[in-house]
Amino acid sequence: LRSPGDRADEDIPRILPLLPLKETVIFPATVTPVAVGKPRSLAAVEKAMAGERILGAVPVKPSVKGGGDEVYDIGTAVSIVKLLSMPDGTLRILVQGLEKIRIAKVLTRKPFFSAEVDVLKETYERSDRIEVLMRNVLDRVSRIVSTVTYLPDELQTATMNIENPILLVYLIATSFRLKFEDRQAILETPDVEEKLGRVLKVLDRELELLEIGGKIEDQVKTEMSKTQREYYLREQLKAIKKELGEGDEMELEANEILDKLDRLKLP
């Protein structure tokens, strides 16, 4: 991970071509792959590649009617690390998050979005509360990583080695399956303690859902085991009946056992 602030403010142009993103939030200090296909987005990438290779990555606001192109005020300045042209004319780019930005003024909408931006430097002062919040967040990460399969074990090691709380928040927000609204809220939140609190709340919710899912899975396994035991006993009794033959006295006992089994609620 690269720390926010590694690139000086003066290296980020005041005017940037914008890359509108649908339900995607890119955070500073993270590397993210992006598929680019819309004409205005392709034009924005072309403009960036002709200059400093820097874009303003900003999420598009959800539109009630659909097709809206209004973007959020807060996004991230990103550098294009790698670009791959696809046969169908679309692009696959890999971008590095640099700094959080605010859209001061949208300048153009065609042939691509461009805007004046303000760089929002993110800093923090170490405090006991931040330390406690970080420990709680790391505890939740450890518990979740040990439970789910979609997160690599290396993620726990990576988070444990991060001392910067801002970087910790952004790594978790990128790695975990957070809702778009939660990701954008985390990016927009200026206070580090509040960022950590938001992430902690999301992780607690994830743990709660995992626990509920585990209980449901155990119940299903128990019911399946019960059904299998009942089936096995019935098959055994059927075999006994077949061996005894019709009219045998022990057949009556077998029938009685079957009747009792019908009324028996196995644990």
**116 and 133 part of one domain:** no
**Domain end marker among 76, 98, 120:** 120
Both 151 and 243 in one domain: the answer is yes
Q: What is the DSSP secondary-structure string of 183-216?
A: HHHHHH---HHHHHHHHHHHHHHHHHHHHHHHHH
Instruction: Assign residue 62 the CATH number of its domain.
Output: 2.30.130.40
> Do 102 and 137 belong to one domain?
no
- 130 and 107 housed in the same domain: no
Interatomic CA distance for residues 228 and 39, integer angstroms = 59
Closest by alpha carbon to 97, among 186, 140, 33, 193? 33
199 and 142 together in one domain: yes
Domain that holds residue 19: 9-120
Q: What is the pTM of this model?
A: 0.75
207/249 same-domain check = yes
94 and 184 part of one domain: no
How would you label 4-37 residue by residue, b for 16+ Cβ within 10 Å and e otherwise? Answer: bbebeeeebeeebbbbbbeebbbbbbbbbebebe
Where does a domain end: 97, 120, 143? 120
- Per-residue pLDDT tens, the chain, 267 aa: give them: 445 545 555 589 999 999 999 999 999 999 999 999 999 999 999 999 999 999 999 999 987 455 557 899 999 999 999 999 999 999 999 999 999 999 999 999 999 999 999 999 999 999 999 999 999 999 999 998 888 877 887 888 888 889 999 999 999 999 988 999 999 999 999 999 999 999 999 999 988 887 777 667 666 666 666 677 777 777 777 776 666 665 455 556 666 666 666 666 555
Give the type of residue at 182. Answer: D
Query: Domain for residue 2, yes or no?
Result: no
Residue 76 falls within a domain, yes or no?
yes
Same domain, 34 and 111: yes
Number of domains in the chain: 2
Last residue of a domain, one of 80, 97, 120: 120
Residue 65 is encoded by which pair of tokens? 């009617």
136 and 267 share one domain: yes
35: β partners: 92
